[in-house]
């Protein structure tokens, strides 16, 4: 066998296929449990004049980032850079303390529930109230890594050169040289065919590939077991011969 890139398969406990209940939309062919990563999402602009990778603004000296396993990417200002956020954290701590009996607690819970049921139903006043009292409200979704409720994957990342919406690609995507016509033609045709560029360049096993690996690992393990059994049998026979010889 070639280099073992999935050591968890050799550890004796073989993870059988248990697809996540909620698969990210458009990624149903991937074995996602082994595949989650918190890499920064990658983007490209395949436009003939651009042919470039796009690094979304990332400034940890000003912002706090939250990148989920599915590459939802949320951002909010650092508390030290935003007195308003710091105030919201203070308010939240006060309101959520066990001893606090003020009216905001009930109001906050009510607005949060309203938002949960229908985010669009919030009035501006309610939205402001949340911002003032709930630091979670400060997270802004920059890149949505999975389409909840079948919604398409979304992001707001635009090409700095041409202004068009960037194309999101998987973490294993390697950008070809600008004059590499052949590679760019391939990329263009994948995109226009509606290929899932994140899944395609994720470097993840598909469900079928994963199943195949599990089978192979189990076969090797059986082989090992029968070899051990034979070794035991051999020493048993040698021992028998030795005992007989002594008798």
Burial class (CB in 10 A: 0-12, 13-18, 19+), 169: buried
Binding mask 27-66 for Zn ion (x = CB under 5 A): ------------------x-x--x----------------
Rg value, the chain, Cα: 27
Q: Of 141, 149, 148, 193, give the one whose Cα is nearest residue 167.
A: 193
Measured CA to CA in angstroms, residue 42 lies from 45, 94, 226, 227 at distances of: 11, 40, 47, 47
Nearer to Zn ion, 131 or 158 (CB): 158
Footprint of Zn ion on 159-178 (CB under 5 A): 159, 161-162
Token representation of residue 142: 């920059």
- Contact by Cβ (8 Å): 40, 67: yes
Least Cβ distance, residue 47 to Zn ion (angstroms): 4
> How many chain residues bind Zn ion (CB under 5 A)?
6
Least Cβ distance, residue 159 to Zn ion (angstroms): 3
Residue 191 as a binder of Zn ion (CB under 5 A): the answer is no
Alpha helices in 57-176 (DSSP H): 83-96, 104-117, 124-133
Least Cβ distance, residue 53 to Zn ion (angstroms): 11
Least Cβ distance, residue 162 to Zn ion (angstroms): 3
Binding mask 82-101 for Zn ion (x = CB under 5 A): --------------------
Where along the sequence are the contacts to Zn ion (CB under 5 A)?
Answer: 45, 47, 50, 159, 161-162
């Amino acid at each position: 066998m070639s280099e073992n890139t999935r050591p968890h398969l050799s550890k004796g406990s073989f993870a059988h296929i248990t697809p996540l209940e909620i698969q990210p939309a458009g990624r149903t062919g991937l074995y996602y449990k082994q595949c989650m990563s918190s890499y920064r999402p990658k983007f490209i602009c395949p436009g003939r004049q651009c042919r470039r990778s796009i690094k979304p603004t990332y400034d940890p000296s000003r912002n706090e980032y939250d990148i989920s396993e599915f590459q939802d990417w949320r951002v909010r200002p650092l508390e030290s850079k935003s007195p308003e956020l710091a105030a919201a954290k203070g308010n939240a701590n006060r309101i959520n303390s066990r001893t606090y009996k003020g009216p905001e607690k009930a109001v906050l819970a009510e607005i949060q529930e309203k938002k949960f049921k229908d985010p669009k139903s919030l009035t501006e006043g309610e939205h402001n109230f949340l911002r003032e009292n709930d630091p979670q409200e400060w997270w802004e979704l920059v890149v949505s890594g999975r389409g909840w409720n079948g919604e398409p994957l979304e992001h707001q990342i635009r090409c700095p050169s041409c202004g068009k919406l960037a194309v999101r690609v998987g973490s294993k995507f390697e950008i070809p040289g600008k004059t590499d016509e052949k590679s760019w033609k391939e990329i263009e045709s994948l995109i226009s065919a509606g290929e899932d560029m994140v899944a395609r360049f994720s470097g993840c096993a598909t469900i079928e590939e994963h199943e195949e690996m599990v089978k192979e690992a189990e076969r090797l393990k059986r082989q090992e077991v029968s070899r051990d059994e034979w070794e035991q049998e051999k020493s048993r026979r040698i021992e028998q011969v030795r005992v007989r010889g002594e008798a």
